[in-house]
Amino acid sequence: MTESDPADLETRHRAMWALGDYPAVATEVIPGLGRRLVEVCRIGPGQRVLDIAAGSGNAAIPAAAAGADVVASDLTPELFDAGQRIAAAQGVDLQWQEADAEALPYADAEFDAVISCVGIMFAPFHRAAADELVRVTKPGGTIGLINWTPTGFIGQMFATMKPFAPPPPPGALPPPMWGDETHVRSLLGDRVADLGLRRENAVIDCFSDGAEFRDFFKAYYGPTVAVYKAIAAEPDRIERLDRELADLASRYDLGNGRMEWEYLLVTARRSA
């Protein structure tokens, strides 16, 4: 099995997101992002909705709470247990299904709305994921995405981690490219209409300083955990990455531990 073998890549990608505790990131750091996406997409009763790369349901659960018939899909089903507990506590029902964003197990034009909140952007092959996103959306149906931008905090965090990470497989693209307007236009093309691209900021106020941010992501955020795991035998590089992540967060601190993390809000209708 080669490094670029699709099955091997899928296994490693799934394992990365099972590291740490992504549900803690979703519920403690960015709890409002999913609700924002559901609101702007006007999701409600009578709609069949797919959340791609749903994780623990940051967007899927608000969509179900709005009355939609929701499928939460993700390559890493280990994240579903936390999502199911959250959904049960809120008294909402939805389906949870293991699925690869680049090869979705759904029929053409099956869903009235297809959404993803900082999820589909992490599928390594952007064109394949975009093709599937469009394929399963009904003509005239809603597409809604929230993606971290390359120039925003999370994009810069990935840029900071890149020199310490193993090289990506051939053909894989950086996740924050999904937060670049030109890239999104090229991925969706004339297959969508009414394309809206709006930069917004998530207000983050749960870290007192850069070191606290670093330690939280080092423990809980799968991609960060994976990078530290890759350099576990290199104490000098660990010390350097520790310093650079804390410094990055400190530069984005607006005072009293408040940060703004930029994302691109993408809305569109699938063309007929």
Report, as an integer, the average pLDDT of 130-152. 98
Q: What is the pLDDT of residue 272?
A: 83
Q: Is the pLDDT of residue 5 over 70?
A: no
Contact (CB, 8 A) for 132 and 110: no
User: Per-residue pLDDT tens for 172-226?
Assistant: 999 999 999 999 999 999 999 999 999 999 999 999 999 999 999 999 999 999 9
212 within domain boundaries: no
- What is residue 123's predicted lDDT score, i.e. its pLDDT? 96
Tally of structural domains, the chain? 1
Whether 211 is covered by a domain: the verdict is no
E-only strand ranges, 136-182: 137-148
Work out the percent of the chain whose per-residue pLDDT is above 90: 93
DSSP H or E segment with residue 26: helix 22-28
pLDDT at 2: 36
Q: Is residue 226 part of a domain?
A: no
Q: Are strands 95-98 and 192-204 parallel, antiparallel or unpaired?
A: unpaired
For 171, which DSSP code?
Answer: T
**Does residue 63 form part of some domain?**
yes
Decide if pLDDT at 1 tops 50: no
Residue 79 lies in a domain: yes
Residue 233 in any domain: the answer is: no
- What is the rounded radius of gyration, in angstroms, for the C-alpha atoms of the chain? 18
- What angle do helix axes 222-230 and 235-251 make, rounded to 10 degrees? 150
For position 112, which CATH number holds?
A: 3.40.50.150
Residue 260 has pLDDT above 50, yes or no: yes
Using alpha carbons, list the distances in angstroms from residue 209 to 29, 153, 181, 249, 254: 14, 14, 31, 7, 11
- Other C-beta atoms within 10 Å of 101: how many? 24
Any domain includes 194:
yes
Q: 196 in a domain, yes or no?
A: yes
What the block records as the tokens of 221 is 């955020």
Mean pLDDT of the chain: 96
Are 106 and 138 in contact, with CB atoms under 8 Å apart?
Answer: no
- Distance, CA of 238 to CA of 229 (rounded, Å): 10
Confidence check: pLDDT of 6 > 80: no
- Structure-derived torsion over alpha carbons of residues 187, 189, 191, 196, reported in degrees to the nearest 10: 90
From CA 224, how far away is CA 186, in angstroms rounded?
29
Residue 67, token pair as written in the block:
């009355």
CA-to-CA separations, 50 to 12, 31, 39, 57, 153, in angstroms, rounded: 24, 19, 15, 11, 28
Domain residue limits at 127: 6-150+170-203+260-270
